Amino acid sequence: MDTIGYHYVAEASGCDPRILEDPNELKRIMLEAAKIGLMDVRQAYFYRFTPRGVSGILVVSQSHISVHTWPEKGYAAVDVYVCGTKSKPEEALEYILRSLNASYAHITEIERGIEDEDRTFTHTILSWDEQPRKMENKSKD
């Protein structure tokens, strides 16, 4: 079995505070992201803190998707980690950032599980900044 995995770590700024404090909406967003990213969801858990903030995780067959929010700051810490190459973690992350209405994201991609000649493992890191496209408003009938 291949050990290669891709871990995306995103610092999302300028997010909609109403979304960041709603565990049900965050769960909906994350489940849709998993679907878009071709990931099989095994378990979901979201917890709303008092007075504000949510932490949530989806355990997927390939690894996990998580979010931790600070609505008062418009900030969300998002992780998407998958093992193998059959999933589309970049597409899942893009959907999450757009759904949070993030105005800015600093993203780090970590390619993990790279086996060296001496049978030890390492990783590589690449970082960049993005201004995600906003989600189009959908009218509710």
Range of the domain at 16: 5-109
Q: Which of 7, 15, 63, 87 is catalytic?
A: 63
- Per-residue pLDDT of the chain (141 residues), as tens digits, is 688 999 999 999 999 999 999 999 999 999 999 999 999 999 999 999 999 999 999 999 989 999 999 999 999 999 999 998 899 999 999 999 999 999 999 999 999 999 999 999 999 999 998 887 665 544 333
Q: Which of 55, 61, 66, 68 is catalytic?
A: 68
Say if 82 falls within a structural domain: yes
Say if 46 falls within a structural domain: yes
Instruction: Report how many domains make up the chain.
Output: 1
Say if 119 falls within a structural domain: no
83 is catalytic: yes
DSSP per position, 42-89: EEEEEEE-SSS-EEEEEEETTEEEEEEEEGGGTEEEEEEEEESSSS-H
68 is catalytic: yes
Say if 128 falls within a structural domain: no
b/e code 119-135 from CB counts within 10 Å (16+ = b): eeeeeeeeeeeeebeee
Tell me if residue 26 falls in helix, strand or coil: helix
CA atoms of 37 and 106, how far apart (whole Å): 20
